[in-house]
Structure 1
Amino acid sequence: QGGSRRVLRSASSPSARKLLCRRNVGITERRRPALHALNPRKHGRPEAGTTVVAGAAFMDQHMGVKLGIAQGTGKLDLSEMGLTHIPPQVFSLTGLTDLSLAGNSIEVIPPQIANLSGLERLQVAGNHLQGLPPEIGELRGLEGLWVHGNLITALPESLCQCTALRVLQAAGNQLTSLPAQLGRLTALEDLGLPGNCLTTLPDSMGGLKSLKKLSLHGNRLKDLPASLRDLDALQELWLMGNDLSSLPDCFASMSSLKQLSLGDNCLGEVPESLAAAPALTALWLYGNSLARVPPSLASHPTLKYLWLEGNPLWGEGLEAMLRGLKGN
């Protein structure tokens, strides 16, 4: 009631929403047109006397141009080129800072990736990778790593040596666990892991002191580590579409948390500390099994949006919430 806070209810099916949440959120597969011979005509075959450049020759020429430019700029974009492997010439470009190989059919990153010691951004999303080589840890200046939309089942422990990393996007893979020492990535600001198969998180998560956004929706998480309380910089935490049945009592100390999504889980209750998160502005609790929520949520000084639809709220729990809303 009033313009400052909303309690939303809907007849939409929670199971349908859960199905939607659980879908992988990685790269959408794109169909790439075949590379046809150059043709001066719109339709039909080339005219007599027309020189037809074979697809492979054209690709080699195009690749050569890109590699030549990269020597001067330090940036190489080989995305959407139908590659099945990384051209060996790439690893001789030791001055590269940006390398994009997204949207190909690459299955392996070879150990020679360590040659690119000055690399700051590596984009390999939308390939067929099943893992990353241990040598990825040699890229000590790496600031951004995009590996979403692959078939990766585990991230190497050596990745935790990339302590300059600020962005790690690994959505839509097949990750079942995370490196035990993930918390060593103290510069990490944005960690995207939705649409994987994670059931738990390492205790070291609390070491991610710079983390501002943590996306874990559409996994199989059953619990959360209490060390989340140490994420002082965290502003967004996305956990919808998991198997959480309880929450740690950690939210009161998460002083920067503004958006928290816990929709489509298995929660029967939420801790009182949830109402003590000092900066919270939006809270998603839809599609759980909540019979009550902390009445103090209704009088939270910064909370503007509260989603509760799809919960069996009734009796005193609902009445207490409504009384709080009427008073605000």
Structure 2
Amino acid sequence: MVDCELGIMKVDFSKPKRKRFGRSNSQGGEIRMQEVVDFSGMSLDTLPLTTNINFGLVYKLDISNNNLQVIPESLTARLLNIEVLDVHSNQLKTLPNSIGCLSKLKTLNISGNQLQSLPITIENCRALEDINANFNQLTKLPDTIGFELVNLKKLSINSNKLTFLPSSTSHLTNLRHLDARLNHLRSLPDDLENLINLEILNISQNFQYLDALPYSLGVLISLVELDISYNKISILPDSMGCLKSLRKLNVEGNPLVCPPPEVVELGLDKVKQYLSEKMNGAHQHSSKKTSWFGKLKKYGTFNSSRMTQVEREGYLMPGYRTIDGLPSLRSMDMGMFSPLRIFSPKNYFTR
């Protein structure tokens, strides 16, 4: 089997064959020998570490779709050059502390396990760009994760039991995609203004838990898609009128009173206009809003002028309606609970 992206043949250890390939570094210089090792879908309870694999040469390790309950500390400590680690769909309850040794790791897929927390040593994986921790039992993330994983671009933590995101999350300045739907979130960090590259934010389906959004949401200057559907939000912060890049908004299933339903039904541009005018007329009456008004002007997000044609065509979920408590099963797309949908590359917004 050939990895199309890398042009490297995967090694299937159900057969006594293995092949190495040379791979140049990012500068096109020295060629290093590397391997892609694939143990996926072999119904393994333990890993056959007695094989003659030089784990120091492994670029990508796929041990997904097995029955593994433990990843040996000794294994991860030997994966000195690994960049992609895929352990999804096992029975892992913990990750080894030695994962912190993976200084070159860029992509980590730990979805579909039974993890309740992540080892704090994961903060040492500073090259990480993509974490997929969907469908676990996470109740918290490491407190300082945002201070350390400075290269993280995508964080997928949907279908867990998170009640909050650590305040350090707001320091993930390179983050572009945050998916925290289907949790128990009660709030978001107050200071989101450092997420200057965030383009997609999905905090939908936290149901009766999430009832408010922080005012700093209006400073997310790169935000293109926002899904807050099926929560308990009654008021959108008027700072959202300053989201100049916003093209898609889903508010379905919230008991919104501000903006009122008649404004919501007119579409995204009218919602943004309503909130912008509300902020423009009321900011001097509140010291908190005055402070944020200055920040919004600093970031160039406040603009009460006419909306562009693109903004007028922004998408707002049709058929808006308020509900009390949980939505009925008939009103929900049950396909969103399918692991196939979550693990699919097309599991998020389509452009």
TM-score by length of 1: 0.70
Partner SS, residue 57 of structure 2: coil
Partner SS, residue 256 of structure 1: coil
Deviation at 1:146, TM superposition (A): 0.4
How many angstroms apart in 1 are the aligned matches of 2:107 and 2:214? 31
Q: Which residue of 2 aligns with 1:132?
A: 71
8 Å contact 1:96–1:116 — kept in the other structure?
no
1:324 is aligned to 2:272: yes
Q: Go from structure 1 to structure 2 and tell me whether the alpha carbon gap of 1:315 and 1:115 turns closer, same or farther (over 3 Å shift).
A: closer
Q: Which residue of 2 aligns with 1:39?
A: none
How many angstroms apart in 2 are the aligned matches of 1:185 and 1:294? 35
Identity between Structure 1 and Structure 2 (%): 32
Deviation at 1:323, TM superposition (A): 5.6
8 Å contact 2:259–2:271 — kept in the other structure?
no
| Bigger relative contact order (CA 8 A; separation at least 6) | 1
- 2:203 counterpart letter in structure 1: L
How many angstroms apart in 2 are the aligned matches of 1:303 and 1:315? 18
Partner SS, residue 181 of structure 1: helix
Any idea what the Cα deviations from partners look like across 1:30-78, whole Å, max 9, x if unmatched? xxxxxxxxxxxxxxxxxxxxxxxxxxxxx99x823xx2xx245489xxx
- 2:272 counterpart letter in structure 1: G
Q: Which residue of 2 aligns with 1:98?
A: 36
Deviation at 1:317, TM superposition (A): 5.9
Q: How many residues align?
A: 246
How many angstroms apart in 1 are the aligned matches of 2:199 and 2:19? 44
Q: Give ranges in structure 2 of 5+ residues lacking alignment.
A: 1-11, 24-32, 265-269, 275-305, 308-351
Deviation at 1:299, TM superposition (A): 3.6
In the alignment, which of 244, 247, 251 is matched to residue 304 of structure 1?
Answer: 247
In the alignment, which of 201, 224, 228 is matched to residue 285 of structure 1?
Answer: 228
How many angstroms apart in 2 are the aligned matches of 1:218 and 1:111? 32
How many angstroms apart in 2 are the aligned matches of 1:72 and 1:142? 14
1:116 is aligned to 2:55: yes
In the alignment, which of 104, 124, 127 is matched to residue 187 of structure 1?
Answer: 127
Structure 1 runs, 4 residues or longer, greater than 3 Å off: 71-75, 110-115, 315-328
8 Å contact 1:119–1:139 — kept in the other structure?
yes
8 Å contact 2:219–2:242 — kept in the other structure?
no
Q: Give ranges in structure 1 of 5+ residues lacking alignment.
A: 1-58, 76-94
How many angstroms apart in 1 are the aligned matches of 2:259 and 2:272? 12
8 Å contact 1:232–1:253 — kept in the other structure?
yes
- 2:253 counterpart letter in structure 1: G
In the alignment, which of 138, 153, 163 is matched to residue 103 of structure 2?
Answer: 163
Partner SS, residue 15 of structure 2: helix
1:270 is aligned to 2:270: no
Any idea what the Cα deviations from partners look like across 1:86-111, whole Å, max 9, x if unmatched? xxxxxxxxx76210011110111255
8 Å contact 1:293–1:317 — kept in the other structure?
no
How many angstroms apart in 2 are the aligned matches of 1:243 and 1:268? 11
RMSD value, Cα:
2.5
Q: Which residue of 1 aligns with 2:330?
A: none
Deviation at 1:128, TM superposition (A): 0.6
Q: Which residue of 2 aligns with 1:7?
A: none
8 Å contact 1:295–1:320 — kept in the other structure?
no
Any idea what the Cα deviations from partners look like across 1:138-196, whole Å, max 9, x if unmatched? 21111100000111111111001101000000111111110112211110011000000
How many angstroms apart in 2 are the aligned matches of 1:304 and 1:183? 33
How many angstroms apart in 1 are the aligned matches of 2:34 and 2:47? 16
